[in-house]
Amino acid sequence: AIVQELPEQDEATLKHFILKDSKKNKSYAFPKMRSGAKEAILTYKLISSSARYHMLEVDLQTGRHHQIRAQLAKIGCPIRGDLKYGFPRSNPDGGISLHARRISFMHPVKQERVEIVAPYPTEDKLWKEFANVTQRK
* 84: helix, strand or coil: helix
* 91: helix, strand or coil: coil
Instruction: Provide the residue ranges of all domains of the chain, joining segments of one domain with +.
Output: 2-98+124-130
The phi-psi region of residue 134 (left if phi > 0; otherwise alpha if psi is between -120 and 50; otherwise beta) is alpha
Q: Structure pTM?
A: 0.92
Report, as an integer, the average pLDDT of 102-106.
94
pLDDT tens column, 2-57: 999 999 999 999 999 999 999 999 999 999 999 999 999 999 999 999 999 999 99
Burial class (CB in 10 A: 0-12, 13-18, 19+), 114: exposed
Burial class (CB in 10 A: 0-12, 13-18, 19+), 101: middle
Strand extents, DSSP E, the chain: 2-3, 11-21, 26-30, 38-49, 54-60, 102-106, 113-117
Report, as an integer, the average pLDDT of 105-133.
91
Contact 94, 70 (CB under 8 A): no
* Predicted pLDDT of residue 136: 52
Q: How confident is residue 78, by pLDDT bands cut at 50, 70 and 90?
A: very high
Q: What is the dihedral of CA 67, 70, 74, 75, to 10 degrees?
A: 60
pLDDT tens column, 62-76: 999 999 999 999 999
Q: What CATH architecture does domain 2-98+124-130 belong to?
A: 2-Layer Sandwich (3.30)
